Amino acid sequence: MSGAQELWDLGSLQFFGKVSASISHEIKNVLAVIRETSGLMEDLILMNRKGKPLDVERLKNLAEKIRRQTGRADEIVKNMNRFAHSVDEPVKTVAVKDCVELILSLFQRSAGMRGVVLQADLPEDAVTVTANLFFLQNLLGNLVEIAVDGAGDEKRIRVGARKCPEGVDVIFRGLQPFSPSEMEESLDVPTRRLLALLEAKLNFDVDQQALVVHFPVSRSSLGGEEGPGPG
């Protein structure tokens, strides 16, 4: 099987496309706000030329709005850059906190479209996994989508991580009550393949209404050093 076919079967090309489309959508929104705000500034200046007094404070507020939106665009592009660099190395030591925070940022909008808020609930101390960063992001992105689809009444998915003696767990909390067997059956083929590829195992914590993805010790580093994190 060709590398491209393998990536297709893993859903990775689709994942890359989905994230890229979401980012471009975000940037388009920012550009639209900047265009209208600068347009309004031009309108006010034009009206001033026709004799209407110019409210300097108003202009200042509009300039501030443009500055704020460029800051927002800068964050979006930084995230895009980090995501793009996730394919630089086949395997690396990844800071789980950085990786989860990036994925939550990238999926915040699509979750919001479904009325769900994503929240990072991560320890500051080093929890690292040695893995292919892109596949790890792909898997976590798929699990975010599964969690969002199954979100409970609070409509808030909290994503945490913890060291455990056998490895590292990433936990998705805030789901509605579910049946583990039905959840297991609903997993799509790419998610199953990514779990196998990363030697990870998905567990269902019914009491906590949580999904737990476990990375074994062979794939994880239990602390001490902070991983270099993504790109």
Residues that bind another protein (CB under 8 A): 21, 24-26, 28-29, 31-37, 39-40, 43, 47, 65, 69, 112-115
* Of residues 79 and 132, the one with the C-beta less far from another protein: 79
- To another protein, the closest distance from the beta carbon of 134 in angstroms equals 22
* Of residues 40 and 197, the one with the C-beta less far from another protein: 40
- To another protein, the closest distance from the beta carbon of 7 in angstroms equals 20
Collapsed DSSP state (helix, strand, coil) of residue 14: helix
The residue with tokens 């996730």 is: 86
* Of residues 1 and 56, the one with the C-beta less far from another protein: 56
- To another protein, the closest distance from the beta carbon of 162 in angstroms equals 31
* Of residues 63 and 217, the one with the C-beta less far from another protein: 63
Q: How many residues does the chain have?
A: 231
* Of residues 98 and 145, the one with the C-beta less far from another protein: 145
CB contact burial 155-187 (16+ within 10 A = b; e otherwise) = eebbbbbebeeebbbbbbbbbeebeeeebeeee
| Cβ atoms of residues 12 and 135 within 8 Å | yes
Q: Which helix (H) or strand (E) holds 173?
A: strand 167-173
- To another protein, the closest distance from the beta carbon of 69 in angstroms equals 7
Q: Which helix (H) or strand (E) holds 93?
A: strand 92-95
- To another protein, the closest distance from the beta carbon of 62 in angstroms equals 8
Q: Positive or negative CA dihedral for 129, 132, 133, 139?
A: negative
